[in-house]
Amino acid sequence: MVKISRLSSVTRIITFSFMNHFKFVITERLFFINAIITPLGLSILFYFIYANNGPNEIALGVVKAGLLGLWGANIWGASFILQGEKRLGTLDYLMVSPKSIYLVLIGKSVAVVIASNISVIISFVWIQIFVGSIWEFFDLVQVIVIILASSFSFSCIGLMVGVFFINFRQPEILVQFLTYPIYIISGIAVQIELFPILIQFISKTVPLYWSQRGLFEIITNKMSITTVIFLLMIGVINLIIGSLILKKVERRARWTGDFSKY
């Protein structure tokens, strides 16, 4: 009975944090821009860029716009989870509450992941309108696997960034460095083979590169499990780094007895 009670308590915390944050992100202006406006505009732009190519290339180009939206929305949403609590003045209470702060972070992260997938849905709608049935180009099960792995990886990076720069008063400035430069070196806008060897190596550490590579593999009927493994591995590494940083911040705050400065 004790285990059931604990499980019920944990589930309730995660569920309520998920519901509250989901309502917040889908009504937040910057999230709306990253998750809806950006992929909407880029889907149309990429369609005209690839218009003279075959239907496979057009479909891949349009869905890449959805990946850019997925990346931007996840990075912005996840990195602002702790910053949002800090601005609301609730971070201190979460740190000292009897229940772990990680339960709240899990719920909020899941909310960001689900909400950010609006970007991919928009790109698939445009494929349906511009090119034809999306099922002619993508296998649904494989797409779900890639998108879930991508969402996990993107969200973990966002959390790590949010924890690492918890003291920074304008994190939106830092988030910009993880959007537009990443758009370029990820291989979505420019093939990484055109970059110097060092930049190519950096590109292969970016999960957005593996996401677009996974979709390319699906559309060419040769999806590799390596892509999914790399996405999950990058996500786990960033999740561990973020967890270690947060624990250090928590220990420092408890040691000094001051939860208003970290």
pLDDT tens digit string along 197-228?
888 888 888 888 888 888 888 888 777 788 88
Q: Which two tokens stand for residue 218?
A: 């699906």
Give exposure, 172-198, as e/b (b: 16+ Cβ within 10 Å). eeebeebeeebbebbbbeeebeebeee
Q: What is the value of pTM for the model shown?
A: 0.80
- Using alpha carbons, select from 121, 22, 38, 145 the residue that is nearest to residue 77: 22
pLDDT of residue 165: 64
pLDDT of residue 220: 80
Q: Which two tokens stand for residue 230?
A: 């790399």
- 137-145: long-range contacts (C-beta < 8 A, 24 or more apart)? 137/55, 137/56, 137/59, 137/60, 137/219, 138/59, 138/63, 138/215, 138/218, 138/219, 139/218, 139/223, 142/218, 142/223, 143/215, 143/218, 145/228
Q: What phi-psi label fits residue 142: left (phi over 0), alpha (psi between -120 and 50 degrees) or beta?
A: alpha
pLDDT tens digit string along 118-130?
888 888 888 888 7
Tens-binned pLDDT, residue by residue, of the chain (262 aa):
556 667 777 788 888 888 887 887 777 777 777 777 877 788 888 888 777 888 888 888 888 888 888 888 887 777 777 777 777 767 666 766 767 777 778 888 888 888 888 888 888 888 888 787 777 777 888 888 888 888 888 888 888 877 776 655 555 666 667 677 887 888 887 788 888 888 888 888 888 888 888 888 888 877 778 888 889 998 899 888 888 887 777 777 666 655 555 4
